Chains A and B, each alone.
Chain A
């Protein structure tokens, strides 16, 4: 991991996140010439919604939120059987506050959420309140056979600065006595949790092309140099995303929280780039209308704030007449009465396991909202009435393989450290007003 290998600076940074560890972090410090502001001493002004990232993130020229580039997901198992005790809660909260003091809450600084699985809540005698829809994960298509993620918790670390996610992770593991010049507490996350899995990734213009060499089966020079995702197109358009309000739990003790679905999707970029042409990729990702009318330039930045699905014909018509339906075209059918999408995508690409994949992380008020969106994406109704296959010419289903699925509750900030299943409402003021 030295300069002798001649790795360009930026390429090194993304590899560093995938590799992780203290050495990668120190190497990043030297490579990334940035000065990340520290967080405040008093964290009481931080939003109750852990997932309120949009206000902290930059926007592109069209006003779309630009997703943070570097990500780490730490899958954690609580070391203690049965309900958690207050000491462990304090330990977790103290460790989390340690990294929040070290880095400001911003795109260039640190954004994080802590979430808990149905398996975690099984340790309580009480069940979750009715306001929380958090079923065990299940297969969401008749042709998929995923493994289910059942660790107790997931910490999601995100930043536009690679060293921030790495540094935060190292500090949570107790490997840093100071971070960004800020003393770190003795309390660590790993005293309370064991790490069950570590997933990493990236999203942003150019990053997939730069990372292509790290994964098997990515066709050389086929991922466009400016594309933010492996499949070559932009996503997360403002009008195709649910708002943070839309995904926030509205009532009960977990009001202000949200639910999170994380799937790991393996991508078949050989078929996508070597066996399909640009027309097919546009038709399958967006809709045939876009492909026929050259609506999309490059990665699709010219689309502005939406994938312009209103211009596409209804799915059943294009399925019968064109033999193909687009991914966005199908997914856009999952909307509420106010015409809002149901999910807020915070997904990112990955080369974990040397495989090109997508960690599809989505936030929604209820897991059911995700299930409905995925059902729309399956397009089973379309396949029954047309020549569109279960996967073939059915959006991007041909090219993705669901490997893992997991459901999690992202509680409000005041309950982020080992929450009970039935918190006392207004417990927010009880602990850690400041530290």
Chain B
């Protein structure tokens, strides 16, 4: 009996039997703990401690050209998919085997790259799966790419990770970089003992309260974080909050790497609270009012810089004391969310301040 026949026959039975049947055939038992973990009640519209934190295992890292690739695994996860401000709960499917994750970075500067990753997985029988991973954010991983994948069974697999060019703008140290796609090939062994025995941390009474766990310590991968307040270039103008994201606004002036033209340049650096996780995939705009008149209005260009990571910026003519600056979030970060992040960074109010 091949797997498809098996699954088809299973469909005729009750749902529960199908599930345990599929899993049993792969050599493991139903892991109800992760297959349908509890969702915390009364979640705040903010970053919160979820009921459980899923462990993560490393399959390995490799490099191709000047890009680093990491491949990681965990048990299949629930997550929320995001389109605009609309989220869809993605539940674990009965044939999902593994939650596969990837990160990509520039090996020269250790900058995490927000470039979409596709994976093609094959074994000795040929191709078994291919998918375009979702950009995601989770409490212990931060920004990464991932999806739940169905595999035909345990064993060794070849995987090709492919990325396209960087779609955002970039600052001068990155001129001419990340303009072409790149792919890397790796191998991994799917072992249910390994993946399904990864740690599940229950957060107990903390669950549902505001806050989050520390990022996992992953020595082989740069952390997907942006600089601290004191590390930002130029003059810090404002520290604001929107949808529980921290929004730092700074101004650089003179001759700088952020723009081809000299002069004042406005930098907005959004990040998660607590862990400073980068928040790419937003659409932001800025308005500058002086004496009741709007003197500048425009798009904050999504960009990548080796020191700042993912940020949003715009050149302006001049910023005077007393000017009102308003940063509007047109689109919240288009990242799929794991438990703990699915209620944050969605309804994001503008931030407004007066320049000193």
- Within A278-317, which residues are at the interface with B (CB < 8 Å)? 279-280, 283-284, 288
Q: Is the CB of B331 within 8 A of A322?
A: yes
Whose C-beta in chain B lies nearest to the C-beta of A221? B11
Q: Is the CB of B281 within 8 A of A387?
A: yes
Q: Is the CB of B130 within 8 A of A387?
A: no
Q: A143: which of B83, B162, B334 is its contact (CB, 8 Å)?
A: B162
Whose C-beta in chain A lies nearest to the C-beta of B281? A387
A154 to B41, CA, bound (A): 59
A323 to B134, CA, bound (A): 15
Q: Is the CB of B331 within 8 A of A390?
A: no
Q: Is the CB of A390 within 8 A of B169?
A: no
When distances are taken between beta carbons in the complex, the residues of chain B under 8 Å from A220 are: 11
The verdict on B109 contacting chain A, using a C-beta distance below 8 Å, is no
When distances are taken between beta carbons in the complex, the residues of chain B under 8 Å from A284 are: 83
When distances are taken between beta carbons in the complex, the residues of chain A under 8 Å from B129 are: 217
Q: Which of B53-61, B85-93, B313-321 contacts A (4 or more CB under 8 A)?
A: B85-93
When distances are taken between beta carbons in the complex, the residues of chain B under 8 Å from A388 are: 334
When distances are taken between beta carbons in the complex, the residues of chain B under 8 Å from A271 are: 131-132, 147
A323 to B301, CA, bound (A): 15
The verdict on A142 contacting chain B, using a C-beta distance below 8 Å, is yes
A283 to B81, CA, bound (A): 14
Q: Which of A106-114, A127-135, A229-237, A391-399 contacts B (4 or more CB under 8 A)?
A: A391-399
When distances are taken between beta carbons in the complex, the residues of chain A under 8 Å from B147 are: 271
Interface centre among B84, B88, B180 (most CB of A within 10 A): B84
A276 to B285, CA, bound (A): 28
- Within A181-200, which residues are at the interface with B (CB < 8 Å)? none
> Contacts A143-B164, A390-B167 hold; do A275 and B88 have CB atoms under 8 A apart?
yes
Task: Give per-residue flags for A367-393: 1 if the beta carbon is below 8 A from chain B beta carbons, else 0.
Answer: 000000000000010011111111111
Q: Is the CB of B283 within 8 A of A393?
A: no
> Contacts A142-B164, A274-B90, A279-B86 hold; do A386 and B331 have CB atoms under 8 A apart?
yes
A320 to B283, CA, bound (A): 6
> Contacts A143-B162, A280-B86, A393-B334 hold; do A387 and B282 have CB atoms under 8 A apart?
yes
The smallest C-beta distance from B34 to any residue of chain A, in angstroms, reads 17
The verdict on A216 contacting chain B, using a C-beta distance below 8 Å, is yes
The verdict on A270 contacting chain B, using a C-beta distance below 8 Å, is yes
Q: B90: which of A217, A275, A279, A288 is its contact (CB, 8 Å)?
A: A275
When distances are taken between beta carbons in the complex, the residues of chain B under 8 Å from A176 are: none
A245 to B158, CA, bound (A): 48
> Contacts A142-B164, A220-B11, A320-B331 hold; do A391 and B131 have CB atoms under 8 A apart?
no
When distances are taken between beta carbons in the complex, the residues of chain A under 8 Å from B116 are: 143, 389-392
Q: Is the CB of A390 within 8 A of B164?
A: yes
When distances are taken between beta carbons in the complex, the residues of chain B under 8 Å from A268 are: 130-132
> Contacts A145-B162, A145-B183 hold; do A389 and B281 have CB atoms under 8 A apart?
yes
The verdict on B212 contacting chain A, using a C-beta distance below 8 Å, is no
Q: Is the CB of B90 within 8 A of A143?
A: no
Q: Is the CB of B83 within 8 A of A324?
A: yes
When distances are taken between beta carbons in the complex, the residues of chain A under 8 Å from B8 are: 213
A-B pairs under 8 A by CB, number: 119
When distances are taken between beta carbons in the complex, the residues of chain A under 8 Å from B81 are: 275-276, 280
Q: Is the CB of B84 within 8 A of A324?
A: yes
A277 to B83, CA, bound (A): 10
When distances are taken between beta carbons in the complex, the residues of chain A under 8 Å from B84 are: 288, 322-324, 393
When distances are taken between beta carbons in the complex, the residues of chain A under 8 Å from B88 are: 275-277, 280
A279 to B165, CA, bound (A): 29
When distances are taken between beta carbons in the complex, the residues of chain B under 8 Å from A390 are: 115-116, 164, 167
When distances are taken between beta carbons in the complex, the residues of chain B under 8 Å from A319 are: 283
Q: Is the CB of B334 within 8 A of A323?
A: yes
When distances are taken between beta carbons in the complex, the residues of chain B under 8 Å from A275 are: 81, 88, 90, 134
The verdict on A56 contacting chain B, using a C-beta distance below 8 Å, is no
Q: Is the CB of B331 within 8 A of A321?
A: yes
A268 to B4, CA, bound (A): 17
A270 to B148, CA, bound (A): 10
A324 to B301, CA, bound (A): 17
The verdict on A266 contacting chain B, using a C-beta distance below 8 Å, is yes
The smallest C-beta distance from B10 to any residue of chain A, in angstroms, reads 10
The verdict on B299 contacting chain A, using a C-beta distance below 8 Å, is yes
The verdict on B195 contacting chain A, using a C-beta distance below 8 Å, is no
The verdict on B65 contacting chain A, using a C-beta distance below 8 Å, is no
Whose C-beta in chain B lies nearest to the C-beta of A275? B90
- Within B70-119, which residues are at the interface with A (CB < 8 Å)? 81-86, 88, 90, 93, 115-116, 118
Q: Is the CB of A387 within 8 A of B283?
A: yes
When distances are taken between beta carbons in the complex, the residues of chain A under 8 Å from B165 are: 142-143
Whose C-beta in chain B lies nearest to the C-beta of A283? B83
A389 to B283, CA, bound (A): 11
When distances are taken between beta carbons in the complex, the residues of chain B under 8 Å from A270 are: 93, 131, 150
> Contacts A142-B164, A385-B299 hold; do A392 and B86 have CB atoms under 8 A apart?
no
Task: Give per-residue flags for A249-270: 1 if the beta carbon is below 8 A from chain B beta carbons, else 0.
Answer: 0000000000000000010101
The verdict on A43 contacting chain B, using a C-beta distance below 8 Å, is no
Q: Is the CB of A142 within 8 A of B330?
A: no
The smallest C-beta distance from B91 to any residue of chain A, in angstroms, reads 8
Q: Is the CB of A323 within 8 A of B331?
A: yes
The verdict on B209 contacting chain A, using a C-beta distance below 8 Å, is no
A219 to B169, CA, bound (A): 38
Task: Give per-residue flags for B11-42: 1 if the beta carbon is below 8 A from chain A beta carbons, else 0.
Answer: 10000000000000000000000000000000
When distances are taken between beta carbons in the complex, the residues of chain B under 8 Å from A393 are: 83-84, 334
Q: Is the CB of B90 within 8 A of A323?
A: no
Task: Give per-residue flags for A113-147: 1 if the beta carbon is below 8 A from chain B beta carbons, else 0.
Answer: 00000000000000000000000000001110100
Interface pairs A-B: 10 shortest CB-CB: A143-B164, A323-B331, A323-B84, A387-B331, A387-B283, A383-B167, A390-B116, A275-B90, A322-B84, A387-B334
- B interface with A by C-beta (< 8 Å): 4, 8, 11, 81-86, 88, 90, 93, 115-116, 118, 129-132, 134-135, 147, 150, 162-165, 167-169, 180-181, 183, 281-283, 285, 299, 301-302, 330-334
17 A-B contact pairs sorted by A residue (CB < 8 Å)? A143-B163, A145-B162, A145-B183, A270-B131, A271-B132, A274-B93, A276-B88, A323-B85, A323-B332, A380-B167, A384-B168, A387-B332, A388-B334, A389-B116, A389-B334, A390-B167, A401-B132
- A interface with B by C-beta (< 8 Å): 141-143, 145, 213, 216-217, 219-220, 266, 268, 270-271, 274-277, 279-280, 283-284, 288, 319-324, 380, 383-393, 397-399, 401
